Amino acid sequence: MACCPCAAKSIKKTKQKEDQIKASSEKPNLEQTLDVKKKAILSGESEKPTAQTFSFRELAAATKNFRADCLLGEGGFGRVYRGWLESINQVVAIKQLDLNGFQGNREFLVEVLMLSLLHHPNLVSLLGYCADGDQRLLVYEYMSLGSLEDHLYGLTPDRKRLDWNTRMKIAASAAKGLEYLHDKANPPVIYRDLKCSNILLGEGYHAKLSDFGLAKLGPVGDKTHVSTRVMGTYGYCAPEYAMTGQLTIKSDIYSFGVVLLEIITGRRAIDNSRPAGEQNLVAWARPLFKDRKKFPQMADPILQGQYPTRGLYQALAVSAMCVQEQPTMRPRIADVVTALSYLASQNYNYNPEPKRNSPQASPSTPRPKRDNSRKPAGGSSRKSTSEE
Ligand SMILES: Nc1ncnc2c1ncn2[C@@H]1O[C@H](COP(=O)(O)OP(=O)(O)OP(=O)(O)O)[C@@H](O)[C@H]1O
Ligand SMILES: [Mg+2]
């Protein structure tokens, strides 16, 4: 991947996040918007408070004092616990922020503000928060199946491998969440932290995007980008954003392409345990994208060949388009949703007995996108309106 080494240094590599410190004159009204809403939310004056406040005592009781057996996982901002909140009679996930001075506080505010303003079936819901003294905690709906990362890489005897149909369903649902942020929110929201650990799964593998602490309001008016410090996660970050700090919605499309590639291949975006040349997923995939005879080599071996050949080709073609070096060549998220919704609707049934007299039709692989007016392969040009 063409992340320049100096930029890559500032990208999160060891789960450390940086904060944008200086306000740039190019920046749209994020700060103003946040300042207004921040005051309203923190002073309880918000017209429609969608997230309620909880006391620290209540959240400690919900998690049996943050007991280790309630721990769901740990990320760059702190630990996440499963809890039972008596007041709302609900199982919840509680993230206790590891406050790193000012930075953690800002992520907390952005998360509360973004999730209070944005609502969609494919975005995780924020039920409330706690800002008692120095404590900063976020209370989310509990996603019973954990993260996509757990399912792709953390296979345990009690967890069944993801089949092809489920993978496509998850990819389509995540794309719908991103479509809401890019195309329905006004101004658009650039998510900036799309990766497998931030795609959470509920019953029936219903996928939702989580973690909005890094999200930014997108450019407004005739601006084409937002200038920011480079943040995000190494391996998912678009090369032009890593090099220039200029953030556009196409940076998210790149990250989405990496996630889709992980879903198809079962390989991590960055995997230092693999041989040189295979450690960076996109760098490994680029030459293979050019030769469709090699596409079957890219499918997750755990699938054991149980995928539709044509569907595999089409999903890889969508991913290839998303990770193109040139941001303008990457598709819009609405087109990605159309293509993936089509693939998710195909419901592939694995038939172990090959039919003798009906050889599979040779797959026609869609070519990577060359200009923006064309739609990605796999679906009609009609924009999908269904939401999961
Ligand atoms: N709402 C939730 N429901 C169920 N499990 C959750 C929920 N939120 C987080 N988790 C679990 O907690 C883990 C840690 O989440 P967290 O967002 O803190 O870190 P991360 O996504 O791994 O890394 P990062 O801090 O870079 O986003 C997740 O991988 C997931 O398994
Ligand atoms: Mg996360």
What separation in Å is there between the alpha carbon of 145 and the centre of ligand 1?
11
Q: Is the CB of 80 under 6 A from ligand 1?
A: yes
Low-confidence stretches of the chain (pLDDT beneath 50): 1-49, 355, 357-388
3-state SS, residue 28:
coil
- Report which protein residue has its CA nearest ligand 1's atom 20: 75
Question: Is omega for the bond preceding 187 within 30 degrees of 0, making it cis?
Answer: yes
- Report which protein residue has its CA nearest ligand 1's atom 5: 146
Cα–Cα dist 388/384, whole Å: 11
Cα–Cα dist 367/46, whole Å: 49
Q: Is the CB of 72 under 6 A from ligand 1?
A: yes
CATH topology of domain 28-141: Phosphorylase Kinase; domain 1 (3.30.200)
Domain with CATH 3.30.200.20 in the chain: 28-141
Q: Is the CB of 107 under 6 A from ligand 1?
A: no
Counting from 1 in the atom list of ligand 1, the atom nearest the Cα of 197 is: 21
Contact 253, 333 (CB under 8 A): yes
Contact 134, 78 (CB under 8 A): no
Cα–Cα dist 175/253, whole Å: 9
CB-based burial label for 340 (10 Å; 0-12, 13-18, 19+): buried
Q: In Å, what is the CA distance from 234 to each residue of 120, 153, 253, 255, 272?
A: 27, 18, 15, 10, 12
Closest among 282, 276, 271 to 1, alpha carbons compared: 282
What separation in Å is there between the alpha carbon of 74 and the centre of ligand 1?
6
Give the model's pLDDT for residue 379.
32
Counting from 1 in the atom list of ligand 1, the atom nearest the Cα of 142 is: 3
Give the model's pLDDT for residue 186.
86
Best of 147, 208, 209 to mutate for ligand 1, by most ligand atoms within 8 A of CB? 147
Domain with CATH 1.10.510.10 in the chain: 148-345
pTM of the model: 0.79
Tell the residue number behind the tokens 């450390």, with chain if given. Answer: 16
Give the model's pLDDT for residue 7.
37
3.40.50.10740, 1.10.510.10, 3.40.50.300, 3.20.20.80: which CATH number matches 148-345? 1.10.510.10
Contact 257, 244 (CB under 8 A): no
Structure tokens at 166: 């489920």
Q: Is the CB of 202 under 6 A from ligand 1?
A: no
Tell the residue number behind the tokens 């017209």, with chain if given. Answer: 47
pLDDT one-digit tens code per residue, 267-318: 999 999 999 999 999 999 999 999 989 999 999 999 999 999 999 999 999 9
Give the model's pLDDT for residue 354.
54
Give the model's pLDDT for residue 340.
98
